[in-house]
Amino acid sequence: DYELCEEWGHLYPVPREDLINLHREHLLHLLEIGNMEKALQLLQRIEDPGICLAISEQALDQHPNLAASYFLADYLTAHFYANLTTARRNEIQALYMGSKVLLTLPELSRINYYHLSSRPLLMLEQLLMNMKVDWVTVAVQMLHQLLAVQEVGFTVEDIDNLLSKYAGKALNFAFALKEKRS
């Protein structure tokens, strides 16, 4: 049905907003069923970059599943980096990084941290608080790799400070001196 509507749009004038809505819903459908290749082909078929940007951003703002969020954040960063405001760019890159970190976690545990996908530092802190040290190790390595090539609202030093803070808390323990009784 989406493809039929798309053909119709080539034959008859369709208002811009309706065209954006049609392509956005088609894109979300393709991403939902996991067909990333067709989703990419759909985006490449759209001739107007403004419409393509609007479709991608609106689809991302609808908070699709993890793989779709990762795909859209990656696509927007790769194709529309210069068209995005600094705040929006940081937001999308944080979502990209958070999604990438989530993909390193065991599949059954991802749902517990999905709500933090746009806030990778907070996700890292939550993993530390839940004592998921092995997962934190993989997440930190991933974030270090990503921060080496991208700028976002935090740095490697922020990650190190967070790790130091929780390492210090792990060493804090209360004790009471007992008096010897004769």
Do 58 and 2 share a structural domain? yes
Do 111 and 40 share a structural domain? no
In a domain, 50, yes or no: yes
pLDDT of residue 52: 92
Do 28 and 104 share a structural domain? no
Do 59 and 103 share a structural domain? no
Note whether 167 and 128 are within 8 A (CB).
no
Out of 37, 60, 84, a domain closes at 84
pLDDT of residue 57: 92
- Read off the pLDDT of each residue in 148-175 and give the average, rounded to a whole number: 78
Do 76 and 105 share a structural domain? no
Do 132 and 74 share a structural domain? no
CA dist., res. 53 & res. 83, Å (int): 9
Band (pLDDT 50/70/90 cuts) for residue 178 is: low
Q: How many structural domains are present in the chain? A: 2
Q: Give the domain extent around 140.
A: 88-170
pLDDT at 151 over 80: no
Do 63 and 108 share a structural domain? no
pLDDT of residue 174: 65
Do 6 and 79 share a structural domain? yes
The b/e string for 85-111 (b: 16+ C-beta within 10 A; e otherwise) is eeeebbbbbbbbbbbbbbeebeeeebe
Do 38 and 25 share a structural domain? yes
pTM: 0.76
Out of 84, 110, 132, a domain closes at 84
In a domain, 181, yes or no: no
H/E element, 171: helix 156-171
Query: Tens of pLDDT along 93-144?
Result: 888 888 888 988 988 888 898 888 889 889 999 998 888 888 988 989 888 8
Do 105 and 58 share a structural domain? no
Note whether 140 and 105 are within 8 A (CB).
no
Band (pLDDT 50/70/90 cuts) for residue 58 is: very high
Do 22 and 93 share a structural domain? no
Query: Tens of pLDDT along 72-88?
Result: 999 998 899 888 888 88
CA dist., res. 156 & res. 146, Å (int): 10
pLDDT at 71 over 90: yes
pLDDT at 173 over 60: yes
Do 79 and 2 share a structural domain? yes
